[in-house]
Chains A and B, each alone.
Chain A
Amino acid sequence: MANVTFRNVRKSFGEFVALEELDLHINEGEFVALLGPSGCGKSTTLRMLAGLEFPTSGEIMIGDRVVNDLAPGKRDIAMVFQSYALYPHMSVGENIGYPLKKRGIKGRERDDAVQKAAELLQLDALLDRKPKQLSGGQQQRVALGRALVRDPQVFLLDEPLSNLDAKLRSYMRAELIELHRRLGKTMVYVTHDQLEAMTMASRIAVMHGGRVQQFDTPDAIYNRPANRFVAGFIGTPPMNQVEGTVEGGHFITGGHKVPIDRSAYADALRDGPVVLGVRPEAITIGKGEGLPATVRLAENTGHETIVTLELPDRTRISARVEAARRLDVGHSVALTFDPDAIHLFEASATGARLNLDAKSASVVSMRSK
């Protein structure tokens, strides 16, 4: 059993509160990504799980054990650091074998384990080199090898791909997914790259302001964001947010009516101010009927064009259209939103989703405590 639980964990550095209240339950064998903007406490969370940082209050469990007072070496975890943290004076082989050496595994047994890990990561030709003589991608694999050589209960990875170029990164992403599939171990993966989180993780914990904003599958994070933060963080460009009011079951902004699918909200749809969210791909740009807007910018990326539009109240929104479409800057257009792809959020600071299901609701209700 190697599930991981954070229960009411709070972490402050002196006066500064890095994590307000952290509750996470990660199942055995799961690949969980901690995703969030810089400084939101992802590394701190991981380091507390590793035992390198101590929670100010709360409980951390690995399997059935409370590990709060357990030294890092006794937690049966392996960690890959963002900066790799390879031992510079040791060869690749010695680096990979070090965790075994410190656990008293000697001779043939150790050599075989190192060899196996090296083969898995295609490092067998480099075993005698020093870390300095390796490329970034090779160093990264050595760091992984040092983690894989043992059979720990949980793997912790702190932005392990952030120092690699785009090509190597997508290659390593595939490698890690394959590795996780093969080993079936619990993995906690810190990243601020949503592409990594969306493609690799079975569940993503989106973090912000010292809290978990949403902890769900990539699909749910994308299609049912629990609040305005998640909506505005996920997607490139992220979900557009338009302020307005609900009147008699319609969304009104700047005097214009936007049709919405009322059946999705039941009694949650009360009159009053709300924020409408719509993804760039759910916007149709046309003439005549619709929300009036002005084209401000059209960026052709080759396979699509991202259009920046300005509403009469100066709100900027982006829309995704096919690359061939010509839109002149300064022209007036009319926007229609796909009613099935419209999300409504509270107009409050937290901006919770209006039609939250029970699971996501628990996260949000905790937030407002």
Chain B
Amino acid sequence: MTAIATNPPRDRRSPLERAYARLGVLLIAPTIIVFSLVIVYPLLAAIYLSVFSIYTPTLQGDFVGAANYIELLTGGAFWHSLGVTLIWTVGTLSLQIIAGIGLALLLHQNIWFRSLARSLVLFPYFLSTVVAVLVWRWLFNDLYGALNHGLIQLGILDMPLDWLGSMPNAMIGVILVGAWKYFPFVVIAVLARLQTIPENLYEAARIDGAGPVGRFFDITLPQLRSVLVVIILLRAIWDFKEFDLLYLLTGGGPVTSTQTLSLLVYQEAFGLNQMGQAAAYSVGMMLVMLAFMVLYIRRTGGK
């Protein structure tokens, strides 16, 4: 009894179990070290920087306490960019989900070009953002853009439109390009899940009198629920943080109409050389994201 009380692990676990435990620690150690280096350190550094007023080129500055956070709360720039970020995220994410499910359903049918279409659909996702944006900028160009040309030819427009230089076209433009770039991710994830839905559920539903629409809402959608929860979570995080696509397409413009939080942080840090303020914005951004994630997981994770 006393031996167990004073030395419990040695008495309870066999040498083999202890060897396994050591191996386990050894195996996760690299992950923990890398995780600390690339996630925990920058996070702490950002929080540290956010209470200083720092000039970016020299990284020198003074302690200012909560001043950067007061600016965040009262300055307006953060709230404006938060609004822009939400519009962008909700807009592009909804389009990605709708287009993704739609195309996945189409590719799940036995159409003759299915295997070709399945690989083609991944194309935008594989394409480097820089290349994709160059192509889209060329399409959107107000002087020689193919989009304007086509729309005028079709008689839908009678004057060339400045797609990325005016609102709300610029926002619509980036939302569309974002949806185009990332919907393949949704297609692949949904398609994989569709293939595992047992065929006899559909057969049972047909006998029970459900039509195609009924079968979609009563079987397909509930069966996709778990995968959609994950896709929406991942894509929401990525879209919320999206930088390169927006930066390259509009740079946040016109003026600040498409300046999301990521772009605001960048602009503050490298445009205005205010590293401290930028750090405060990024901490704010992280808190907003965290709040949304907690809410979302609470609402969906229960079932």
Contacts and interface: CB of A to CB of B under 8 A. Distances in A.
Contact of B203 (A77, A85, A99, A102): A85
Nearest to A75: B207
Contact of B200 (A51, A72, A83): A83
A73 to B, nearest CB: 4
Interface stretch (B63-71, B216-224, B266-274): B216-224
A98 B218 CA distance: 10
A303 interface: no
A92 interface: no
A50 interface: yes
A77 B207 contact: yes
Contact of B223 (A72, A78, A89, A103): A89
B225 A81 contact: no
Contacts of A71: 206
B207 A79 contact: yes
A87 B208 CA distance: 12
A146 interface: yes
A17 B219 CA distance: 32
Contacts of B208: 73, 98-99, 102, 146
A342 B208 CA distance: 49
Contacts of A79: 204, 207
B150 interface: no
B210 A89 contact: no
A72 B207 contact: yes
A83 B207 contact: no
Given A85-B198, A98-B208, A146-B208, A52 B219 contact: no
Nearest to A98: B208
Contacts of A72: 203, 206-207
Nearest to B206: A72
A81 B207 CA distance: 11
Contacts of B205: 87, 98, 102
Contacts of B214: 102
Contacts of A87: 201, 204-205, 218-219, 222
B209 interface: yes
Contacts of A88: 201, 223
Interface in B224-242: 225
A74 B219 CA distance: 20
B206 A73 contact: yes
A: interface residue count bin: 20 to 34
Interface in B106-156: none
A92 B219 CA distance: 15
Nearest to A79: B207
Contacts of A52: 203, 206-207
Contacts of B225: 89
Nearest to A81: B200
Nearest to A99: B208
B209 A83 contact: no
A186 to B, nearest CB: 16
Given A85-B201, A89-B223, A89-B225, A78 B207 contact: yes
A73 B210 contact: yes
Contact of B204 (A85, A89, A103): A85
B57 to A, nearest CB: 57
A99 B222 contact: no
A317 to B, nearest CB: 42
B198 A83 contact: yes
A118 B207 CA distance: 20
A99 B198 CA distance: 19
A258 B130 CA distance: 93
A77 B211 CA distance: 16
Nearest to B210: A102
Interface string A64-94: 0000000111100111010101011100000
Contacts of A73: 206-211
Contacts of B210: 73, 98, 102
Interface in A238-272: none
Nearest to B211: A73
Q: Which of B209, B219, B222 has the most CB of A within 10 A?
A: B209
B209 A103 contact: yes
B203 A81 contact: yes
A148 to B, nearest CB: 13
B201 A99 contact: no
A353 B203 CA distance: 41
A78 B219 CA distance: 19
Contacts of A89: 222-223, 225
B198 to A, nearest CB: 7
Contacts of B206: 51-52, 71-73
Contacts of A50: 203, 207
A250 to B, nearest CB: 56
A363 to B, nearest CB: 30
Contacts of B207: 50-52, 72-73, 77-79, 99
Contacts of A98: 205, 208, 210, 218
A58 to B, nearest CB: 21
Contacts of A85: 198, 200-201, 203-204
A130 B154 CA distance: 54
Contacts of A146: 204, 208
A185 to B, nearest CB: 15
The winner among B204, B219, B223 for most chain A CB atoms within 10 A is B204
B207 to A, nearest CB: 5
A128 to B, nearest CB: 14
A74 B208 CA distance: 9
Nearest to B215: A102
B300 to A, nearest CB: 14
A99 B205 CA distance: 8
Nearest to A73: B209
Report, nearest first, the 4 A-B pairs whose CB atoms are least far apart.
A73-B209, A102-B209, A89-B222, A99-B208
13 contacts: A52-B207, A72-B207, A73-B209, A73-B210, A74-B209, A77-B207, A87-B201, A87-B204, A99-B208, A102-B205, A103-B209, A146-B204, A146-B208
